[in-house]
Structure 1
Amino acid sequence: MLKLRLKRYGRKGQPCYRIVAMDSRTKRDGKVIEELGFYNPITSETHLKYDKIIFRLKSGAQPTETVKNILAKAKII
């Protein structure tokens, strides 16, 4: 099953996340199928690739709760 979820990177105590499409059975920081955006929780900054996200959602990818909230704020969902 394909999931849209967050992949963590950044220093200790200063997390940044990439919004990615990956298989639900892989590790959090495992192999990615496609990168779809960026989210910084400290500054609430987001950069999203709208056309790729919509394509993945139409093809059956399921977003996690956090990603669903980010997409709702951006008015994609």
Structure 2
Amino acid sequence: MVVIRMSRGGSKKRPFYNLVATDSRNRRDGRFIERVGFYNPVASEGEESLRIALDRVEYWKQNGAQLSPVVARLVKGYGEKVAPAA
């Protein structure tokens, strides 16, 4: 089963997460199919902290992918933030 979840990067005490579509049997930071965004929880004031390719997330959901609970929350918040501006 394909799942969209967060893959940790960055360094110690400075996490950075890639939002990736991957097979659920792969390791957290292992091989993935596609990178659909990123989340930087410790971004500075001027830096972008979240970017999600909503079209690619929708594509994977239509093809049966499941979103992890954290990614579902991020996508919901990002969609609400982006939609009024468009």
Q: So what's the TM-score if we normalise by structure 1?
A: 0.92
Larger Rg: 2
RMSD: 1.4
Structure 2 partner of 1:45: 49
1:31 is matched with 31
**TM-score, normalised by the number of residues in structure 2:** 0.83
Contiguous gaps of at least 5 residues in structure 2: 81-86
1:6 maps to which residue? 6
Matched positions, count:
76
* Deviant stretches of 4+, over 6 Å: none
| Unpaired segments ≥5 residues, structure 1 | none
Task: Give 3-state SS (helix, strand or coil) of 1:68's partner.
Answer: helix
Superposition deviation, residue 41 in structure 1: 1.3
Instruction: Output the amino acid matched with 1:66.
Output: V
